[in-house]
Structures are given as structure tokens and as C-alpha cells.
């Protein structure tokens, strides 16, 4: 029975990812989740009390996976500059990943405090890694530089998400170049 419940929960989260990828947080409704999974709407409420609860669980499940991918890419880089490049490049590469698209939709939405806290915690790990690399580059204020660097990444993510005129790899290369020029001061 417990195994069946966890399979249904996984199916609901997967449906939530699809809905978020396709239409952002507005698309994530209980009727839509029920329709996607073939469950009765009342059953959806047995698993999650609210949309915020669905989003919160997705944050808990998907953000760490996504952060681990970025961490792995950074670990492979030999120099602090290489780590900065990997930090930018890997996040932008993940934009095409369906799980990450859900993460982007969540990040862009109005979230309750619980979900925001979970996102901040997941992002915190990434920011800590990049702060260290920036510190190794001799940055006077590595924490502030890390926040500004993430701003470049977020802007590039939005540009890719919007299906801008430029190809994603062109946007990625521009973001990397800007980030590297910026962090070298």
C-alpha cells in the first residue's frame, strides 16, 4: 500500500513538473493534476493540501538534484575562473532539462515563505561554492559578487526561456564572457 502511495505521489510530482514547464504556476491546478494522473480531485488533496505544498515538495526534490549538477561541473574545473564558467554554463545548460524548467517556473512565481526558504537553502549551497571561487580570485566582496553573478545567470535563463532571437548557446557564451570579465574586475 505504501509503495502504491509513493508511486502515486511520484506521478503527481511528475505531472506537476509537466504543467509547470508548459504553463508556469498558473497551469498547476488540482483539476489539471487530477486529469494528468487519472486520480480523482479528492485524491490529489490526500497527497497535498495546496498548490504551495506541491511546489514546496518539488523544491525539496528537484533543487538539490539541479544544484548537484552545477556542483559536479564546478568540481571538474581546475581554476577559480573555470569554476565561475562552469557555474554559469551548467545552470544555463539545465534550462533545457524538463526538471529544471519546472524549477525556473517555480523561481519566477509568487511563492509562500516555506517554498522560498527551500529555494534559498538550495541556492545557498551554490552561492557558497561560487563565493569560495571568487574569494580565491582575490575578490574583496565575494558574497556581493556572487549575487551579481547569479543575476547574470538569471537574466540569461529568462532570455533563453522567452525563446529570444539568439540561440541558447549564443546567450550562454555571452553570459559566460560577461561573468568572467566582471569577476576579473
pTM of the model: 0.76
**What's 11's domain CATH number?**
1.10.10.60
Shared-domain flag, residues 69 and 120: yes
- Average pLDDT for residues 166-173, to the nearest whole number? 91
The domain of 5 spans 1-48
Residue 99 has pLDDT above 70, yes or no: no
Q: What is the pLDDT of residues 36-50, one digit of tens each?
A: 999 999 999 999 998
Q: What is the pLDDT of residue 77?
A: 95
Q: What is the pLDDT of residues 20-79, one digit of tens each?
A: 878 877 888 999 999 999 999 999 999 999 888 888 888 788 888 888 889 999 999 999
Q: What's the total number of domains in the chain?
A: 2
Retrieve residue 78's grid coordinates: 581546475
Shared-domain flag, residues 70 and 155: yes
Contacts of 175 (CB under 8 A, 6+ apart): 88, 92, 152, 153, 155, 156
Amino acid at each position: 500500500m505504501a509503495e502504491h502511495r509513493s508511486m502515486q505521489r511520484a506521478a503527481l510530482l511528475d505531472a506537476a513538473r509537466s504543467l509547470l514547464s508548459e504553463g508556469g504556476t498558473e497551469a498547476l491546478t488540482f483539476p489539471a493534476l487530477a486529469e494528468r494522473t487519472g486520480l480523482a480531485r479528492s485524491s490529489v488533496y490526500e497527497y497535498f493540501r495546496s498548490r504551495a505544498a506541491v511546489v514546496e515538495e518539488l523544491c525539496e526534490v528537484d533543487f538539490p538534484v539541479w544544484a548537484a549538477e552545477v556542483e559536479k561541473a564546478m568540481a571538474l574545473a581546475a581554476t577559480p575562473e573555470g569554476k565561475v564558467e562552469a557555474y554559469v554554463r551548467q545552470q544555463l545548460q539545465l534550462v533545457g532539462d524538463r526538471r529544471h524548467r519546472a524549477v525556473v517556473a517555480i523561481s519566477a512565481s509568487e511563492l509562500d515563505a516555506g517554498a522560498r526558504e527551500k529555494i534559498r537553502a538550495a541556492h545557498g549551497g551554490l552561492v557558497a561554492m561560487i563565493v569560495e571561487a571568487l574569494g580565491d580570485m582575490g575578490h574583496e566582496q565575494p558574497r556581493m559578487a556572487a549575487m551579481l553573478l547569479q543575476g547574470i545567470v538569471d537574466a540569461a535563463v529568462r532570455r533563453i526561456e522567452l525563446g529570444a532571437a539568439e540561440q541558447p548557446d549564443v546567450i550562454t557564451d555571452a553570459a559566460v564572457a560577461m561573468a568572467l570579465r566582471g569577476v576579473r574586475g
